[in-house]
């Protein structure tokens, strides 16, 4: 069964740090890009960032709201994804989801077109930033 | 960053109704558009990618259309299990922004 399980959430004071983990199973983790998405209480979805796979040098991208404070990493030997969150603010309070990035490729005359989407989601882990 | 705007923000409908949700991008994103469904207390679930391709296992009453800046998610005959919040997301560029969501409620 394809599964993602987040852990590491909790209560932290403003300015503090927290590291979230996402354990993957049921698929070849090392092949996949992986995303983090968050959802503040009663609000919509906010894309946090992504990590690409080894073939794409494990490069990362971040939303402007977290860039410089959050770091995404992965350990393919452990089938695990991480989100290191530093300098936390009250507005970082949210449920954090990890997600597998699926892709659909169409080959054409001018090359291949890649469509990316989150096709597997974890159940989420809750982070509360409060004094 | 590309802004995604959904309309309406919420709607009330009855079982059996045809429901249409619109998503507009602040610039052209070709057909790099995903739709997700989220029920309270649950993670989102992928419905459609590449604007119109139905994810495996998703009922055929869901369909997507559009290209460029304007997109539509249609539920042809609303079922009780479809009452949820729906989000669009562009995958044209990073950051991969979401719309604000459309909540579909029971009339």
Q: In whole angstroms, what is the distance from residue A127 CA to residue A1 CA?
A: 27
Tokens linked to B68: 């460029």
HSE-CB at A43 with a 13 A cutoff on CA atoms is 15
- For residues B106 and B14, the answer to whether their CB atoms sit within 8 Å is yes
Spell out the residues 6+ positions from residue B100 whose beta carbon is closer than 8 angstroms to its own. A44, B4, B5, B6, B9
Set of chain B residues whose Cβ sits within 8 Å of the Cβ of A104: 49-50, 53
- For residues B74 and B63, the answer to whether their CB atoms sit within 8 Å is yes
Tally A–B CB contacts below 8 A.
67
| Chain centroid offset of residue A96 CA | 8
pLDDT digits (tens, 9 = 90+) for B70-88: 999 999 999 999 999 999 9
Residue B104 phi/psi, 5-degree rounding, is: -100, 115
Residue B107 pLDDT: 87
pLDDT digits (tens, 9 = 90+) for A56-79: 999 999 999 999 999 999 999 999
- Does position A112 have pLDDT exceeding 90, yes or no? no
More confident residue, A111 or B99: B99
Tokens linked to B107: 């009339």
Residue A110 pLDDT: 81
Which pLDDT band holds residue B30 (cuts at 50, 70, 90)? very high
* Residue of A4, A45, A105 to mutate when probing chain B, most B C-beta within 10 A: A45
Q: In whole angstroms, what is the distance from residue A22 CA to residue A34 CA?
A: 10
Set of chain B residues whose Cβ sits within 8 Å of the Cβ of A64: 1, 95
| Chain centroid offset of residue A41 CA | 18
Which pLDDT band holds residue A106 (cuts at 50, 70, 90)? confident
- Does position A122 have pLDDT exceeding 90, yes or no? yes
């Amino acid at each position: 069964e394809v599964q993602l399980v987040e852990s590491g959430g909790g209560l932290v004071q403003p300015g503090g740090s927290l590291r979230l983990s996402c354990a993957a199973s049921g698929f070849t983790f090392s092949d996949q890009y992986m995303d983090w998405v968050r959802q503040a209480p009663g609000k919509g979805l906010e894309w946090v960032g992504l990590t690409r796979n080894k073939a794409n040098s494990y490069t990362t991208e971040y939303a402007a709201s977290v860039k410089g404070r959050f770091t995404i990493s992965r350990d393919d030997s452990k089938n695990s994804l991480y989100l290191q969150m530093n300098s936390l603010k009250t507005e970082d309070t949210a449920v954090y989801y990890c997600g597998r990035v699926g892709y659909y490729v169409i080959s054409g005359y001018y090359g291949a077109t890649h469509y990316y989407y989150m096709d597997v989601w974890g159940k989420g882990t809750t982070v509360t930033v409060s004094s | 960053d590309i802004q995604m705007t959904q309309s309406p923000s919420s709607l009330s409908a009855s079982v059996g109704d045809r429901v249409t949700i619109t998503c507009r991008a602040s610039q052209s994103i070709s057909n790099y558009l995903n739709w997700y469904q989220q029920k309270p207390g649950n993670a989102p679930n992928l419905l459609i990618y590449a604007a119109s391709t139905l994810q495996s296992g998703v009922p055929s009453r869901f369909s997507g259309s559009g290209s460029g800046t304007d997109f539509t998610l249609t539920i042809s005959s609303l079922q009780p299990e479809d009452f949820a919040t729906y989000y669009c997301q562009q995958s044209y560029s990073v950051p991969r922004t979401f719309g604000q969501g459309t909540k579909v409620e029971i009339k």
